[in-house]
Chains A and B, each alone.
Chain A
Amino acid sequence: MQSSIEIDRTPATQYLLRVADTCLILAQRLGEWCGHAPVLEEDIAMANIALDLVGQARALLTRAGQIEGRLHDEDQLAFLRSERDYFNLTLVELPRGDFAFSVLRNAMVATWMKLLWERLSDSSDAELAAIAGKALKEARYHQQHSADWVVRLGDGTAESRLRIEAALSELWRYVPEMFDCDEIDEEASAMKLGPLWSDLKPDWQSEMGQILSEARLSAPKESAFQSDGKRGRHSEHMGYILADMQYLQRAYPGGVW
């Protein structure tokens, strides 16, 4: 049994891991749709978006390992950390739910990622800026595709509308975590590594507002609930998804295809 690695929790490393882990865990959730989506085209779309997210996560984990300076590679960081050392948004670890839940989550996360990548492409870290410049183009497609589905479901049948409304009320409570700022953001912003997440809020609200209004939906009231995955405190779902992801590397250390 392979034991967990210890990571160095410097602000720069944590800032990068928050973004990397958000990509990685959402990719894992989207991968669960493979063979289960309502139509073949969406099965393929979910898997394609997941693949882009895995690629982004790989690049970010590699960079996080270099900045951390303990010679941890992308695989060690992806598979050998303990739960408290993953810093993804809680939103992405929630079970995939129905199709409405997954496409609305994709729209919310892709809109957020697009705005984040735009700003990260001006990072003082040249490698991070290069990763962001590439990922930004991909996130635009993810946002467009999922926004299109939110509109189809919201403006579709009575059943599709019920489903997307339920998803909206379930997911909206995880929004504050996307814009909540702490000393990690402040350090990252001071060293021009990346933006304060709170800076993304006005644009995100405006773009999500456009999508929801096109779907004849309206944004629920901001929730007082504060999820905390970005600080390593996760929902009850995180342990299960990590067990799925980590089993092979834990049981067969260093195993490769």
Chain B
Amino acid sequence: MIEAPTETTQAARVRAAWDVLDTVLDPEVPALSVRDLGIVRDVLAQGDALEIILTPTYSGCPATEVIEHDVLAAIDAAGLGPASVTLRRAPAWSSDWISAEGRKKLAAYGIAPPHVLAVGEAVPIRFFGRGRKHEVACPRCGSHHTERLSAFGSTACKALYRCLACQEPFEYFKPI
């Protein structure tokens, strides 16, 4: 006889799902798990199935569909299925949602972690101009003597920088 799911087995299943999500890596920034990135907003037990709520980082992020697929595959492989993914747009993802652990992992991976944004802060137009310096620390040598090369790096979520102290180029995860 199959037992009906009880409160406790459901809670254990949700907890196990969160642990599994800690192992699903972002395909564009494989130093981070989807949990570190802060895009997993909730895991709900809905009757027989799990519902995983994800908030995409950027509107046009090509990784969104890959992440959905990887999340479901990992949940299935752990025997926690069936599960479904729901995309939730509001509130919009912010780089402030990257966990403290995630920030450390980014820096260790060679990507400068984003500055913390005050939520709802109105951003005035700033002009960078050539050679203007920024307060972004080099993830390799820690120097603040760095310059921005381009506002867009290998993906929309990163900018390209160069360290003027150690001469190494690096990426900066943009605050958004």
Interface set of A (CB-CB < 8 Å, partner B)? 41-42, 44-45, 48-49, 51-56, 58-59, 126-127, 129-131, 133-138, 140-141, 143-145, 147-148, 151-152, 207, 210-211, 214
B-side binding surface: helix, strand, loop or mixed? loop
Decide: A138 and B125 in contact? CB cutoff 8 A: no
Rounded to whole Å, the gap between the CB of B41 and the closest CB of chain A is: 13
Decide: A44 and B152 in contact? CB cutoff 8 A: yes
Decide: B125 and A147 in contact? CB cutoff 8 A: yes
Task: Specify which chain B residues have a CB less than 8 angstroms from the CB of A42 in the assembled complex.
Answer: 150
Query: Does B156 make an interface contact (CB < 8 A)?
Result: yes
Task: Specify which chain A residues have a CB less than 8 angstroms from the CB of B151 in the assembled complex.
Answer: 45, 141, 144-145, 148
Query: Does B1 make an interface contact (CB < 8 A)?
Result: no
Q: 13 A-B contacts, Cβ less than 8 Å apart?
A: A44-B152, A48-B155, A48-B156, A49-B152, A51-B62, A58-B60, A133-B91, A134-B90, A135-B59, A138-B176, A141-B152, A151-B127, A152-B129
Task: Specify which chain B residues have a CB less than 8 angstroms from the CB of A126 in the assembled complex.
Answer: 90
Complex-state Cα separation, A145 to B156, whole angstroms: 12
Decide: A129 and B90 in contact? CB cutoff 8 A: yes
* Choice from A54, A134, A140 contacting B92 with Cβ under 8 Å: A134
Complex-state Cα separation, A143 to B93, whole angstroms: 20
Complex-state Cα separation, A76 to B59, whole angstroms: 19
Rounded to whole Å, the gap between the CB of A6 and the closest CB of chain B is: 28
Most chain A CB within a 10 A radius of its CB, from B60, B128, B154, B174 = B60
Complex-state Cα separation, A130 to B87, whole angstroms: 12
Decide: A56 and B59 in contact? CB cutoff 8 A: yes
Closest B residue to A147 using CB positions: B125
Most chain A CB within a 10 A radius of its CB, from B58, B62, B93, B128 = B58
Complex-state Cα separation, A151 to B126, whole angstroms: 11
Decide: A147 and B59 in contact? CB cutoff 8 A: no
Decide: B59 and A138 in contact? CB cutoff 8 A: yes
Query: Does B80 make an interface contact (CB < 8 A)?
Result: no
Decide: B89 and A48 in contact? CB cutoff 8 A: no
A-B pairs with beta carbons under 8 A, tally: 92
Complex-state Cα separation, A215 to B138, whole angstroms: 30
Task: Specify which chain A residues have a CB less than 8 angstroms from the CB of B25 in the assembled complex.
Answer: none
Complex-state Cα separation, A207 to B123, whole angstroms: 12
Complex-state Cα separation, A144 to B153, whole angstroms: 15
Query: Does B149 make an interface contact (CB < 8 A)?
Result: yes
Q: Which 8 A-B pairs have the closest CB atoms?
A: A55-B60, A55-B59, A130-B90, A41-B150, A130-B89, A45-B152, A51-B60, A134-B92
Closest B residue to A111 using CB positions: B125
Decide: B130 and A152 in contact? CB cutoff 8 A: yes
Task: Specify which chain B residues have a CB less than 8 angstroms from the CB of A133 in the assembled complex.
Answer: 89-92
Complex-state Cα separation, A183 to B58, whole angstroms: 33
Complex-state Cα separation, A144 to B29, whole angstroms: 24
Residue-wise, chain B 107-147 has the 8 Å CB interface mask toward A (1 for contact) of 00000000000000001011111100000000000000000
A55 with B58: in contact, given A48-B152, A140-B123, A141-B174 (CB under 8 Å)? Answer: yes
- List residues of B (54-75) whose CB comes within 8 Å of A's CBs: 56, 58-62
Decide: B150 and A134 in contact? CB cutoff 8 A: no
Query: Does B40 make an interface contact (CB < 8 A)?
Result: no
Decide: B125 and A52 in contact? CB cutoff 8 A: no
Query: Does B98 make an interface contact (CB < 8 A)?
Result: no
A45 with B61: in contact, given A134-B93, A137-B176 (CB under 8 Å)? Answer: no
Complex-state Cα separation, A168 to B60, whole angstroms: 29
Task: Specify which chain B residues have a CB less than 8 angstroms from the CB of A51 in the assembled complex.
Answer: 58, 60-62, 156
A41 with B149: in contact, given A138-B58, A207-B125 (CB under 8 Å)? Answer: yes
Query: Does B39 make an interface contact (CB < 8 A)?
Result: no
Most chain A CB within a 10 A radius of its CB, from B56, B130, B150, B155 = B150
Decide: B59 and A52 in contact? CB cutoff 8 A: yes
Complex-state Cα separation, A55 to B57, whole angstroms: 11
Task: Specify which chain B residues have a CB less than 8 angstroms from the CB of A152 in the assembled complex.
Answer: 129-130
Complex-state Cα separation, A136 to B92, whole angstroms: 10
Closest A residue to B55 using CB positions: A134
